[in-house]
Amino acid sequence: MGSTVRFNECNPDPAHSPTDKLPIFGLLALATAAFIALLTEVMPAGLLSSISSGLRVSDSLAGQFITAYAAGAFLAAIPVTSLTQGVRRRSLLLLTIAGFAAVNAATALSGNYFLSIVARFLAGVFGGLLWSLLAGYAARISPAHLSGRAIAIAASGATIAVVFGVPLSTFLGGIVGWQGAFGVMSALSLVVIVWVIAAVPDFPGQSKEERQALLAVFNIHGIRPILFLVFTFILSHNILYIYIEPLLRPSGLSGSVGVVLFTFGLGSLAGLWFVGMLVDRRLEHLALASVLIFALAVVLLAICGNIALAIYPTVIVWGLAVGGFATITQAALARFAGSAVDVAQAMYTTGWNTAVAVAGMLGGLLLDGPGTIVFPWVVAAVLALALIGVMSMNRALQRRR
């Protein structure tokens, strides 16, 4: 089976062949699974003081709830995805969602810090596997000419979690406590399991003959430019996003981080909607536009970063650039990877998480050194590399036609 075969041509079961309409109910089930995964990841940020007091640890140790999740996702995405290529796809998806139900329930019931950290690490393992599955699954259950829009719908759950996740977790914690909030997530996972069984078709795993080695997938034409683009773009984004509070100090808005990030999130939702409408017809243009619009936001930040009224339109522009980026690059990845999309997506997930980690370290070094005044210029330099990546990806897409 060639690496450029489309998903719908790979499906041997006519009963599961998609029509010319998107399977909205099934895609929304995938979007809800993405919402659970990302909310599980970010929820401790809104519950930090409650977790620290409940487990009798410092805020810094409570913050390791997020680190443990990220470590699990980073370490597990590629090996676990490679090892599970032969498992039926819906069974693996259900196992992943059930894993979230189990680890969130364990977190809700545990009063021991070490056990909670282990549960968080395992949550990251399930998260890494889920991100490796979602884009390919959305494309498999949808018409080939609408696969990009399908990926956008499935990704919308993660974007909504980015926008509303921290305030929602804070709200839940105020009502049912921090452990109760994790319990709610566990219960929601059980609902999604029923939803997936009812609305998402099954597909066989790959036979040994069909599976491709990691290096073979990495060497598929077009894969490397996408991974390079993802690394440079997400590195640029997170240098700003992780250190948004010190970046806002010159404008006097460091006490309004929540409002600024909410504004960014609204821009992201608008960007995702716009990309979802056009990604199947204008993929190359959208990819280039995302980098250029982000560069515009960086220039605005460099020039007007000390003006409070300029910050909000700047972060809206930033959000427009970032909101649909994952959909754009995942849609491109699906076109090149074909039947090896899950393994390719695992590389994508690992590259994304590596970029986040590098951004945290690099941003910290810059913050301790010259300070936030150089952030926009460093990000602009990295975005220049992202521009090279997007042009390389677009050339590969054009040659593939």
Residue 197's pLDDT is: 97
Per-chain mean pLDDT for the chain: 88
Average pLDDT (249-276) is 89
Higher model confidence: residue 301 or residue 82?
Answer: 301
Residue 19's pLDDT is: 57
pLDDT in tens, 176-219: 999 999 999 999 999 999 999 999 999 988 877 777 788 888 99
Residue 21's pLDDT is: 86
The percent of residues above 70 in pLDDT, for the chain, comes to: 95
> Is residue 256 over pLDDT 50?
yes
pLDDT in tens, 13-22: 434 444 578 9
b/e burial code for range 136-147 (CB count within 10 A of at least 16 → b): bbbbbbbbbebb
Q: Which residue is listed with tokens 């960014």? A: 264
Residue 339's pLDDT is: 79
Spatial distance between the Cα atoms of 160 and 323, rounded to a whole number of angstroms: 10
Average pLDDT (235-262) is 88
Residue 169's pLDDT is: 84
| Dihedral sign from CA coordinates of 224, 151, 319, 36 | negative
For 372-385, the DSSP string reads: GGGHHHHHHHHHHH
> Is residue 6 over pLDDT 50?
no
Residue 232's pLDDT is: 97
Residue 327, C-beta contacts closer than 8 angstroms, at least 6 positions apart: 148, 151, 152, 155, 272, 275, 276, 279
pLDDT in tens, 126-173: 999 998 899 889 988 999 889 889 988 998 898 888 778 777 887 888
Strand ranges in 245-311 using DSSP code E only, listed in sequence order: none
pLDDT in tens, 378-401: 999 999 999 999 999 999 999 876
Identify the weakest region by mean pLDDT among 16-20, 211-215, 305-309, 358-362.
16-20
Residue 294: both structure tokens together: 């982000």
Spatial distance between the Cα atoms of 2 and 143, rounded to a whole number of angstroms: 19
Residue 68's pLDDT is: 87
Residue 5's pLDDT is: 33
The percent of residues above 90 in pLDDT, for the chain, comes to: 55
For 324-335, the DSSP string reads: THHHHHHHHHHH
- DSSP class of residue 249 equals G
pTM of the model: 0.82
> Is residue 46 over pLDDT 80?
no
